Chain A
């Protein structure tokens, strides 16, 4: 079927079967490869994008279910979003594969709660797996991006 999706503020026409998950349309049809495949069953969060500001797992969302939702992907954050700045300032990524999903989940959190508590961060980010274990810096970077901590040195110490 032909369907028009609102992605990062642009109407984009795609040809795909109605049951095709948004993830594969973004990646294979629209070339937006920042959104990652990690598990295909909404367990890891690597495919997280925003639909009208709310985080969704694009690997399990068929395009037919999107209606007129405004989709935002990592490419739509612009590159200098406070979260992206904090991610760079703290050298959060290791392999980096999960980070698009991490940042999109965090972006949704900050929309809901501009100054999230530790518990709110834990709750909002528990669905995003990072096998490199960058959790500590992800947590710290969300604090930085929300203005609750200075964007100075990364959270390491030295003897």
Chain B
């Protein structure tokens, strides 16, 4: 897992490969029929004109450089990192570099790791690294050649700095604006010469800062919720109270009597009220009377689902038809004995809502088979495919203007494009190209499903006489996220096991029997920031901590021994760095207890040392020292921001997060019942980046900071109380 090639080719480990497989399978399946490349097919119907500097770089008459950003900006600062890659190779003046979202076009803007235009798996920087270096270098070469031609000097003698092209010997210089017309005529080199990474002047510096902070601090950023247009209608939908239910009948009389309500439609997902304003739409929707057909609805409680998962893992429940255990890591013979102790422990994880600050929403206008959308599209190719089916057009002909998202954490990359299709269904009913903004309230958003699945783990470890694992038996029971994929089936759902599979602890264990079972349930599930690692990191790290205590060993020393055995050099490096910066081995500040955890996800490895105490009966987390190996650090400031934010997101879930169902109805409705981390509960995160050789391929930072804090805190509490914590959330309502 430490080989540069594998980090580059499969940045999120096997889980990503699987996602890639499914998306390309969709494309290839069709491509074979029509005899063109997958991205050709996905982009069918798209207009693919690009400017002289290619698909990713635009340069304005005043010399301003614009990155055409194929990835959505939903908080991770991706735009800044990507723009910096271009600016570095182009030697552009960073203060004159801006960015815009790319249009939906799978041929031009596919994620190199996923085969479709999609942001996810913490791959934005990783998959764009070579592509954008080349784009910047090619544009630079065009300016150099244009200057060489104009000044009649050798191109090799020309330098570029801060958007100024110069020839020292002749004393000539010109900026990008002055050379633009000539440069645009130069044929771009097919294989431009890239900089020696040791010569980078922008990448890795604190100059790489966000370009959107002012707009976001003045209320000027235009989110989907903020789209206004002439004739715009606002829609809200009454959804069924249980997953899988459908409209039986409805009475719209009272809804239509609300001033401002324009029309009421039945759509596949419920009953839509269309109005002139948001408030009218809400009042109209709330005035609907709908009778639901619940014949096919999921009516179980989440407690019943969890109980069955526990029984299945313990072997005390019978497998239903279609349910089958699948091995994901197997070696040796787990009945082997080495004279040590046995530890058997089971863990429960609840459903989790993404609870983005901006609830799901979308703007669409439909005229016959033409559809134009403006919204925060995390997977434009998926959204095009799904919308194309509704309006009967080619996917590439579906126009999408991608807007910044008020958070996503995975929610907006959905195989069904659920809220997007819902909006298009309404816009289709309205017709006439009239724009319709679908608005979900917080309550709609929280009850709509697509949760992080409920998960149960059961682990049995026997040790050798030194207390190190000799056998490791592992059972994971969870719904499969990938079952919702348009293609797939068969094989292990890697998103359910990533992080357990490939763990250095399993590598260091001679005998392993690890299996997955993915029963169906009627609750829609989806990836949630750091996906499988949300639970596997916890199970692996909290189990290891219990083993270390039983072995009477120091937490860091015990892990170090296992990493050395597994050859996990990157784990060792982050562990050592975090331990050193945290003062591990020295007494913690009075009243605080330290816990450590380490996990690799999305090609990056993160170690955290958290200082924890109990306050008013709840865990309180103070200082959190974070060390990350994410390859080349492009924007140290944004890496730190992602460690800070990712830590809060993971801590919020570990301490408070849970969606429960009572007889199929979601219990949580809003932030009063779905508790999330607040300002006064936030830890103080320090981030240290492991130094890398120049040119090391960058890996993800959006997700890897999320899964480590839960086990770090649990491990501190274990040290404090002597009790393992076998269920999340830690704080019971």
Contact = CB atoms under 8 A, between A and B. Distances in A.
Interface of A: 16-17, 20-21, 24, 27-29, 31-41, 43-44, 46, 73-75, 77, 79, 83-84, 87-88, 91-100, 103, 121-123, 125-139, 153-159
6 contacts: A36-B225, A79-B214, A125-B679, A135-B677, A138-B679, A158-B633
Interface string B662-691: 000000001110001111101111111111
B228 A159 contact: no
Nearest to B690: A159
B219 A73 contact: yes
Contact of A88 (B217, B223, B226): B217
B219 A35 contact: yes
A33 B114 CA distance: 35
Overall SS of chain A's interface:
loop
Given A37-B225, A157-B640, A131 B278 contact: no
Given A88-B213, A94-B75, A74 B358 contact: no
Contacts of A21: 279
Contacts of B408: 95
B402 interface: no
Contacts of B682: 133, 135-136, 139
A88 B212 CA distance: 9
B218 A133 contact: no
Contacts of A123: 680
A10 B644 CA distance: 40
Q: Which of A84, A94, A121 has the most B CB atoms < 10 Å from its CB?
A: A94
A158 B636 contact: yes
Contact of A157 (B215, B680, B687): B687
Contacts of B219: 32-35, 73-75, 100
B679 A88 contact: no
B679 A96 contact: no
Contacts of A135: 648, 677-679, 682
Interface residues of B, number: 77
Nearest to A152: B206
Given A133-B644, A133-B648, A159-B688, A95 B74 contact: yes
Given A91-B641, A93-B216, A99-B217, A24 B278 contact: yes
B259 interface: yes
B558 to A, nearest CB: 24
B210 interface: yes
Contact of B218 (A46, A77, A125): A77
B721 interface: no
Contacts of B637: 91, 153-154, 156
B416 to A, nearest CB: 23
Contact of B688 (A34, A46, A153, A158): A158
A21 B234 CA distance: 16
A34 B688 CA distance: 35
Given A20-B279, A157-B686, A131 B407 contact: yes
A36 B680 CA distance: 22
Contacts of B213: 87-88, 91-93
B539 interface: no
Given A27-B278, A40-B441, A125-B680, A92 B217 contact: yes
A136 B685 contact: yes
B680 A122 contact: yes
Contacts of B214: 79, 84, 88
A128 B633 CA distance: 31
Contacts of B76: 94
B409 interface: yes
A94 B73 CA distance: 9
Interface in B165-219: 206, 209-210, 212-219
Return the 7 tightest CB-CB contacts between A and B, nearest first: A34-B219, A133-B648, A156-B640, A97-B406, A96-B216, A94-B75, A95-B75
A35 B221 CA distance: 11
Interface string B213-241: 11111111111011010000010000000
Given A41-B670, A84-B217, A131-B356, 16 more contacts: A28-B279, A33-B219, A40-B670, A88-B217, A91-B77, A91-B213, A93-B217, A95-B358, A132-B75, A133-B645, A133-B677, A135-B682, A136-B644, A136-B683, A156-B636, A159-B689
